[in-house]
Amino acid sequence: ISVSEQWIFLDGEFVKKEDAKISVYDHGFLYGDGVFEGIRVYNGNIYKLDEHLLRLYHSAKSIMLDIPQSKEEMTEIIRQTLQKNKLEDAYIRLVVSRGVGNLGLDPASCANPSIIVIAEELAIYPKEFYEHGLEIVTVATRRNRPDVLSPKVKSLNYLNNILVKMEASLAGVSEALMLNDQGYVAEGSADNIFIIRNGALMTPPGYIGALEGITRQAILEMAADMGYDVREEAFTRHDVYTAEEVFLTGTAAEVIAVVKVDGRIIGDGEPGEETNRLLRAFRQKVVEDGVKVYSDNSRIEIG
């Protein structure tokens, strides 16, 4: 899509991408004060929209940010943004910031939250990553403690994750393993982590400190239905190194195999059979787990 054709929803209206600008006094910009979601659209169906909206409104509640729109109104705004951009497969970035205020920290100076919806074509990991798997490394930066800035709040303050991402890039890899303050495995910079060890499928439980990933939840439910021994259990780097399979989950990445962690080769160094099976099962279900963007008779022609 060329720049001039992309429309952004910004505070009640659609503006062209090049005109989609917010005030330097917006507390989202000044202080990272706000919340967001990354949502995916498959073939005209918004994947797990209700779950994403629930997480958004929970994040907002946690930071005492009142979103003026109801979830139904937000759904309509997202739908319209997709229709306006004629998108059937897309990545949506939904941002609610505290809005424009003065230079003080106190959100009391911010009259209205800013609501931004960006819908664009998806930039996914290259196909080779799925075919051959990722190499990751453990980074020194630890996950925010849940009792400080809870990782369950998907806030605009992503510095913790950005520092992790930079450490990963410096090490020449595209994702990282982030530990919590006690040294237990938490998550990646923007993905949840799963291991298959001694036949059990494990991901860190909520108290360890990670985002409550929508894809994580989908995999937990799907794997249980498929008969896996599914456990939310704390584990260490040792458990990752000695796992049969390791994979990451996230809205953009879906399910992606990890084949090397801190120089240790996982399994036989290729994406594992169960990882591939879960990815296939996930992709088969994405359309049916979605909310329709277009009613059948208004379906747009994609030329």
**Active site members:** 154
Pick from 90, 177, 211, 256 the residue near ligand PMP by CB under 6 A: 211
Q: Which residue(s) pair with 291 in the sheet?
A: 46
Strand partners, 137: 176
Is residue 214 close enough to count as binding ligand PMP by CB under 6 A? Answer: yes
CB of 97 to ligand PMP, least distance (A): 17
User: First-to-last CA distance in the chain?
Assistant: 13
104, amino acid identity: G
What residues from 21 to 50 belong to the interface with ligand PMP (CB under 6 A)? Answer: 38
Binding segment for ligand PMP (CB under 6 A), chosen from 13-21, 69-77, 208-216, 220-228, is 208-216
Environment class of 18 (CB within 10 Å of its CB; exposed 0-12, middle 13-18, buried 19+): exposed
Q: What share of the chain is helix, strand, coil (3-state, %, to 5)?
A: 30, 30, 40
How far is Cα 42 from Cα 133, in angstroms, rounded to an integer? Answer: 23
Contacts (CB under 6 A) with ligand PMP, residues 66-105: none
In the complex, the smallest distance separating the C-beta of residue 38 from ligand PMP, rounded to whole angstroms, is 5
Least CB distance to ligand PMP at residue 5 (A) = 27
CA 265, 199, 286, 158 dihedral sign is: negative
Q: Which is nearer to ligand PMP, 99 or 213 (CB)?
A: 213
Is residue 251 a contact residue for ligand PMP (CB under 6 A)?
A: yes
190 near ligand PMP, rule: CB under 6 A = yes
| CB of residue 189 to ligand PMP, shortest distance in Å | 7
Q: Which part of the chain contacts ligand PMP (CB under 6 A), choosing from 69-77, 87-95, 108-116, 244-252? A: 244-252
- Report the alpha-carbon distance of residue 166 to residue 160 in Å, rounded: 10
CB 218 → ligand PMP: shortest distance, Å? 8
Tell which phi-psi region holds residue 172, choosing left (phi > 0), alpha (psi between -120 and 50) or beta. Answer: left
Per CB under 6 A, residues contacting ligand PMP are: 38, 161, 187, 190-192, 211, 213-216, 249-251
